Amino acid sequence: MTRSERQELIDKGLLLPLMEEFYTIQGEGFHKGTAAYFVRIGGCDVGCHWCDVKESWLAELHPPTETEKIVENAVKYSDTIVVTGGEPLTWDMTQLTTQLKAKGVQTHIETSGAYKLTGTWDWICLSPKKLKLPTEEIYNKAHELKMIIYNKSDFKFAEEQAAKVNKDCILYLQPEWSKRDKVVPEIVDYVMANPKWKVSLQTHKYLNIP
């Protein structure tokens, strides 16, 4: 296969830079505690300094993998498939989700929303970042808004983003892991004063699982 032929398949979403895939327990947000199969797609240019998966940023480090093979492997483990990254919407998710839905599974995505929404999703977790804001279209489609709290200024950003999502979107504040001891008390106080928000914790880290 020539480089141009490979690139054409990547552009169509028939090949995706697969970083890793694993069966675990969803640790965050609305579906925490649920067994799910995670598909982590490489490639992200949002560049959050506190990102805990920086090795996902460079797509070229991760082998272009046939979408069909990703699907075949994923559905062996779970009927809930979570696509994460990196930033998965860097790539066209249409083929991946079409093939997953044909297998009768639930499709979830974790995204910053920085790129056009592609694919068919049963659950969209939107986690906006200041460096590259979401596209306008995704605000109306997000099922949950997960705002990462690193410092006090993030509460203001969280409110700005909450004002844009649809009325049924569930609102979460989640401490950035390295700052959790400092910001958890601040989040608790904030949620108690503003009960439209809920607290999300990275429970998988407490459980010491992926």
Q: Is position 84 annotated in a ligand binding site?
A: yes
Q: Is position 70 annotated in a ligand binding site?
A: no
The strand ranges marked E within the chain are: 15-25, 35-41, 64-66, 80-84, 106-111, 123-126, 144-149, 170-175, 197-199
Measuring CA to CA, which residue among 22, 9, 14, 6 is closest to residue 66? Answer: 14
Q: Is position 48 annotated in a ligand binding site?
A: yes
Q: Is position 40 annotated in a ligand binding site?
A: yes
Q: Is position 125 annotated in a ligand binding site?
A: no
* Placement of tokens 């965050």 in the chain: 28
Q: Is position 104 annotated in a ligand binding site?
A: no
Q: Is position 178 annotated in a ligand binding site?
A: no
Q: Is position 180 annotated in a ligand binding site?
A: no
Q: Is position 47 annotated in a ligand binding site?
A: no
Q: Is 189 buried (19+), middle (13-18) or exposed (0-12) by CB count in 10 A?
A: exposed
Q: Is position 52 annotated in a ligand binding site?
A: yes
Q: Is position 118 annotated in a ligand binding site?
A: no
Residue ranges for the binding site for substrate? Answer: 25-27, 40, 84, 210
Residue ranges for the binding site for [4Fe-4S] cluster? Answer: 44, 48, 51
Residue ranges for the binding site? Answer: 25-27, 40, 44, 48, 50-52, 84, 86, 127-129, 210
